[in-house]
Amino acid sequence: MTAAERRASISLAIIFAARMLGLFLVLPVFALEAARYPGGNDPALVGMAMGIYGLTQGILQIPYGLASDRYGRKRVIVLGLLVFAIGSFIAAAAPTVWWLMIGRSVQGAGAVSAAVTALLADQTRDAVRTKAMALVGASIGLMFAISLVAAPMLAARIGLHGLFTITGLLALACIAVVIWWTPPAPVQHANVPRGRLADVLAHGPLLRLDVGVFVLHAVQLAMWMAVPALLVQAGLDKDRHWQVYLPTVVASVVVMGAVFALERRGYLRAVFLAAIGIVLLVQLGFLLAARTPSLPVLTGLLFFFFCGFNVLEATQPSLVSRLAPPAARGAALGVYNTLQSLGFFAGGAVGGWLAKDVGTTGLFGAAAVMMVVWLLAAWHMRAPQARKTTAEEVLADEAEAG
């Protein structure tokens, strides 16, 4: 990476990580803490307060992506982070579950993922973009692991109000990073004619990736409807689950180094399909392990899941940014992030229903079927050719970034 690419990648990874840390801190304790609010005795209402974030985010990802194409990435990112912070402070001051729901919905309205990813794509060359996306993905995975350890301790001291306050403050800190550290959008991306949403929706390879991210996140969230219970059955108390999550996440991030080497050698398609296959095999492994849960087996399955998941999280947005028409990159990533959010929503809703009505084995069986469908759909994909970048272009980019 050039100095400008490193600066862009690190600053935008920090924005993603800080924003997601705020969200992840709430997840492990939300249901228990929300039960203390007026209206918190209604599980359906608490579930809606929890899930409405993904719904509003999914609805607004495309508008934010289109706006970033038209008005500039950094402006849209700052606006979205400000909305996210306002929603966090509303939730922090919420006297009832209904106000928690309003705060969560406003949080979701700060849907900046597409604009942030598009800015990262603008500021990195094709040859290093997967590495940049992997840095973002690794930071998110690390924040998830940290939140599993920190959330219960923080909630015991400052409650849900305090966690939402921390979330809002992190969003404001991200605004400072965007304004004063993140490099400006490159000139070649600042004044180009803007594409149309129709150009993205008619693009077959992009639609294939959109379906893929929907399946991946639906399977991921459905998994977590059953995995914690399996760990408990295997003899690990819920307060100690982080002892499995943290090392498996960190170890899987180390494996990501091999992906960069394989991509440079032209094996991106093979790595991508292999990662889908690994997640598929993990679902089949969980299906078998659910009968007699064993802690070493579950730990191994989680390690391989995070390996496959991290590879797909890094390569898919990289592929979207490279396949999309440059003038419609924000729109393409908006559609992609919309399907990602809807995958979360579907995975939680359908996963909960499956776990309740057909059991754990039925849930993992359905997840395996979804992965098979995705593998077949992705089989004919072709990795895009990286655009050649001359030494003069690299030096010019570094000079422009100061």
Query: Which of residues 65 and 233 earns the better pLDDT score?
Result: 233
Q: Across the chain, what does the average pLDDT equal?
A: 79
- Asked whether the predicted pLDDT for residue 72 surpasses 60, the reply is yes
Query: Which of residues 232 and 280 earns the better pLDDT score?
Result: 280
Q: Under CATH, domain 3-400 is a member of which superfamily?
A: MFS general substrate transporter like domains (1.20.1250.20)
- Asked whether the predicted pLDDT for residue 238 surpasses 90, the reply is no
- Asked whether the predicted pLDDT for residue 63 surpasses 80, the reply is yes
| pLDDT single digits (tens) 267-297 | 778 888 999 999 999 999 999 998 888 999 9
Question: If DSSP states are collapsed to H, E and C, what string results for the chain?
Answer: CCHHHHHHHHHHHHHHHHHHHHHHHHHHHHHHHHCCCCCCCCHHHHHHHHHHHHHHHHHHHHHHHHHHHHHCHHHHHHHHHHHHHHHHHHHHCCCCHHHHHHHHHHHHCCCCHHHHHHHHHHCCCHHHHHHHHHHHHHHHHHHHHHHHHHHHHHHHHHHHHHHHHHHHHHHHHHHHHHHHCCCCCCHHHHCCCCCCHHHHHCCHHHHHHHHHHHHHHHHHHHHCCCHHHHHHHCCCCHHHCHHHHHHHHHHHHHHHHHHHHHHHCCCHHHHHHHHHHHHHHHHHHHHHHCCCCCHHHHHHHHHHHHHHHHHHHHHHHHHHHHHCCHHHHHHHHHHHHHHHHHHHHHHHHHHHHHHHHCHHHHHHHHHHHHHHHHHHHHCCCCCCCCCCCCHHHHHHHHHHCC
What percent of the chain stands above pLDDT 70? 83
Contact 179, 4 (CB under 8 A): no
Query: Which of residues 105 and 245 earns the better pLDDT score?
Result: 105
Query: Which of residues 176 and 229 earns the better pLDDT score?
Result: 176
Query: Which of residues 90 and 256 earns the better pLDDT score?
Result: 90
Query: Which of residues 174 and 188 earns the better pLDDT score?
Result: 174
Query: Which of residues 102 and 386 earns the better pLDDT score?
Result: 102
Tokens of 8: 């862009």
In this prediction, residue 398 carries a pLDDT of 43
Q: Taking the model in full, what pTM does it have?
A: 0.72
- Asked whether the predicted pLDDT for residue 196 surpasses 80, the reply is no
Q: Rounded to 5 degrees, what angle do the CA atoms 38, 104, 39 make?
A: 15
Per-residue pLDDT, averaged over 55-65, amounts to 82
| pLDDT band per the 50, 70, 90 thresholds, residue 66 | confident
- Asked whether the predicted pLDDT for residue 351 surpasses 80, the reply is no
Contact 374, 209 (CB under 8 A): no
In this prediction, residue 396 carries a pLDDT of 44
- Asked whether the predicted pLDDT for residue 86 surpasses 90, the reply is yes
In this prediction, residue 83 carries a pLDDT of 94
